[in-house]
Amino acid sequence: MVTEVSTLKRPVATKVRTPQPAKTYTVGSYLAARFSQIGLKHHFAVAGDYNLALLDQLLTNEELKQIYCSNELNCGFSAEGYARANGAAAAVVTFSVGAISAFNALGGAYAENLPVILVSGAPNTNDRSTDHLLHHTLGTHDFSYQLEIAKRLSCAAVSITSPALAPEQIDYAIRSALRERKPAFIEIACNIAAAPCAAPGPVSAVTGQEPSDQESLNAAVSAAAEFISSKQKPVILIGSKLRAAGGEKEAVMLADALGCSVAVMPAAKSYFPETHPQFVGVYWGEVSSPGTREILDWSDGVICVGTIFNDYSSVGWMAVPNVQNTLEVDFERVQMPGRSFGRIHLRDFLAALARKVEKRDATMVEYKRIRVESRPETPAKPDAKLTRAEIFRQIRPMVTSDTTLLAETGDSWFNGVALKLPTNARFESEMQWGHIGWSVPAAFGYAMAAPERRVITLVGDGSFQLTAQEVAQMIRNRLPIILFLINNNGYTIEVEIHDGPYNNIKNWDYAGLIQAFNADDGRGLGLVADTGGKLATAIKAALAHRDGPTLIECRIDRDDCSPDLISWGHMVAMANGRPPKQ
C-alpha cells in the first residue's frame, strides 16, 4: 500500500548555528541572520535607493543568496512560489513604487496561507516630521500610507526607525508569519539598515509554537469520535489549509484508521497522495472527478480538513456540504453541529483522532461499485492540428514523482486538475487569490527553492502577458523549467463565463520572445507546436535541455477548452448574475 506523503521542507533549519555575539550586527545583518536561521537560502529583490544599504547588509550573510527579479509584482510572486517549496520566503523592495506593486503578491500570500516576509526600504528618519517632500511618495508629508496598506494585507506589519527596537520588531514579524502561515511586512528606514544592533538569539524565539491545549484537544477528539460513530458513511474531504497546517502525514494516518473514501478540493490537489488506495478524486461539485461527487452526495458525514469553500470551489455555491453533516477541522479550531473547540493544532487533532476511531469504510465499498475506469486515450495523428486533449495526453507521462506542476488560473486549472499524479508529484495553483500571471514568477521562485524537482508550468497566453519578464530570470539562473504556453487567442475562461470584445488579446510571438530574453548569454529555448508531432519533438527537446527554461507555445483553437470549464463557467456566470435581493 502506498501511503507515503512527500515531505515538503518545513521552514525551520535545525542545523543553522545560533550566530555568535562576537560579530557586530546591524539591523540588516540581524534580519539576514534570522532569514538564514529559519531556513531561507535565498531572498528575492529589486533594488531602489531606499533599500540599497539594506541589500548591502543582506549580502554580508554568506548563507543567503540575493536573487533579482524584473519587477516587484514578480518579486512578490517569486517569493510566494519559494514559500510553497520551502515553507517560508522573503522579498526586498523599495519604498512605495516598489512595495505597492509587491502588495498584490502579499495579498496572494495571505489568501494562500504562505509566510512571505516582504521587506521595504523607507525614508530617512531625519526627513520625517519635517517639511521635506520626498521622491517615490504621494508628494505629501505623509509617509505612513505604505504601512497602513500593509497592515490590511499581512498578519504583522512593522516600521523600523530605531536600531534598538529592531530585533524585537523583526522577531515579532517573522514569528507571526511562521505561526499564522500568513505574510508579514517589515519597513526599514534607509539610514537604519546599516546601524548597529544587538545579535540575534536562538531561532526558537521566532519559530516556537504554543502546543495545543490538551484539555480542549481531548474533548474535541472525543466529540469527533462520537460524531463519526453516529454516521454510517463518513468521508474525508481535504482542503488547501492542510498543507499550511503541516498535517499531510496525519491526514493519511486518519484515512488509514477510518478506511473511508478521501477526496481533495481542487486547491488541495496533491496534498493527499493520489496513489493511496482510498483516494477517490477531486471534489469540485459539477466538475468533480468521475464518481467523486456521487460519493460526497451519498455520504452522511463529511470530515472537512482545512477546506475553503468560495464561489469558485463551490461552483457558484452549488457544492457546499450541509453543516449538519460536517465535522470541520481548521488550523486551530474543530467544529461540528452544536460544538466548537479552540486552541487545537490541526495536526495534533488528526493524529489523536486517528488513534481513537474505528474502521468505517462504507464510502469506500460504494466507491468501488461506482468507480469509472479511465479509458486509454488515443494519440492524435502526428500532423493533425494540435488540440487541448492531445497536449494533455502528451504532458501526462512527463509528470514523474519528482515533478511539480504549477497550473495558472484559466483552463490550465481544469486541465491540470484532471492529470493523475504519481506519489510525491506536487501540484500548485493559486485558487483563492487567482491572479493571472502568478505561475511564471511562482515557478521561478519554486525552482530556486527546489532545484532537484522538475518544474512544469501550465499557463495561458493571456496570463503569460502579465509576468512574462520573469522568464528572463529563469534564463539568468539557468533553471530548466518547462513552460507550456497554451495559446488559444484570448481569455477563454472569461469567454465561457461571459464573452465580449474585452476577451480578445494581442497575439505575441511567444517562442520568439525567448530569443530576445536570451540576448547574447542566455540559454532559454522557445519552441512552437501546432501539431501533435511537433509537440512530441518539442517535449523531447525540453526534457534534454538542462541549462535554461524551455517555453513551448502550443497553438490551439479559441474554443478548444476543457468541458469542465464550460460547465463550471456556466454556473459561476449564474452566481455572478444573481439580481440584488429586494
Which residues are at the interface with Mg ion (CB under 5 A)?
460-462, 488, 492
Give the distance, in angstroms, between the CA of residue 457 and the centroid of all CA atoms in the same chain.
Answer: 13
CA nearest neighbour of 21 among 206, 207, 208, 197:
197
Among 77, 491, 510, 517, binds ligand DPX (CB under 6 A): 491
If the CB atoms of residues 230 and 576 are measured against ligand DPX, the closer one turns out to be 576
Helix (H, G, I), strand (E, B) or coil at 468: coil
If the CB atoms of residues 204 and 507 are measured against ligand DPX, the closer one turns out to be 507
Q: Classify 130 in phi/psi space as left (phi over 0), alpha (psi -120 to 50) or beta.
A: beta
Site membership for ligand DPX, residue 435 (CB under 6 A): yes
Site membership for ligand DPX, residue 107 (CB under 6 A): no
Cα separation of 4 and 8, whole Å?
12
Residue 494 contact partner, candidates Mg ion, ligand DPX, none, CB within 5 to 8 A by sort of partner: ligand DPX
Cα separation of 272 and 255, whole Å?
10
Site membership for ligand DPX, residue 462 (CB under 6 A): yes
Site membership for ligand DPX, residue 555 (CB under 6 A): no
Question: Which residues on adjacent β-strands are paired with residue 403?
Answer: 454
Among 394, 429, 463, 473, binds ligand DPX (CB under 6 A): 463
Cα separation of 252 and 3, whole Å?
7
Q: Classify 378 in phi/psi space as left (phi over 0), alpha (psi -120 to 50) or beta.
A: beta
CB-CB contact of 60 with 32 (8 Å) = yes
CA nearest neighbour of 241 among 228, 253, 251:
251
Query: Nearest distance from residue 182's CB to ligand DPX, in Å?
Result: 21
Query: Nearest distance from residue 409's CB to ligand DPX, in Å?
Result: 5
CB-CB contact of 468 with 70 (8 Å) = no
Site membership for ligand DPX, residue 461 (CB under 6 A): yes
Residue 250 contact partner, candidates Mg ion, ligand DPX, none, CB within 5 to 8 A by sort of partner: none
Residue 548 contact partner, candidates ligand DPX, Mg ion, none, CB within 5 to 8 A by sort of partner: none
Site membership for ligand DPX, residue 417 (CB under 6 A): no
Cα separation of 528 and 182, whole Å?
39
Residue 286 contact partner, candidates ligand DPX, Mg ion, none, CB within 5 to 8 A by sort of partner: none
- Residue in the shown chain whose Cβ atom is closest to ligand DPX: 460
If the CB atoms of residues 493 and 527 are measured against Mg ion, the closer one turns out to be 493
Site membership for ligand DPX, residue 436 (CB under 6 A): yes
Residue 463 contact partner, candidates Mg ion, ligand DPX, none, CB within 5 to 8 A by sort of partner: ligand DPX
If the CB atoms of residues 208 and 577 are measured against ligand DPX, the closer one turns out to be 577
Backbone angles phi, psi at 477, to 5 degrees: -95, 10
**For residue 219, how many other CB atoms are within 10 A of its CB?**
15
Query: Nearest distance from residue 471's CB to ligand DPX, in Å?
Result: 15
- What's the distance, Cα to Cα, between the start and end of the chain in Å? 56
Taking each helix axis from N to C end, the angle separating 27-37 and 52-59, rounded to the nearest 10 degrees, works out to: 50
Site for ligand DPX in 382-411 (CB under 6 A): 409-411
**For residue 520, how many other CB atoms are within 10 A of its CB?**
4
If the CB atoms of residues 212 and 488 are measured against Mg ion, the closer one turns out to be 488
> Which positions lie near ligand DPX, rule CB under 6 A?
409-411, 434-436, 460-463, 488, 491-494
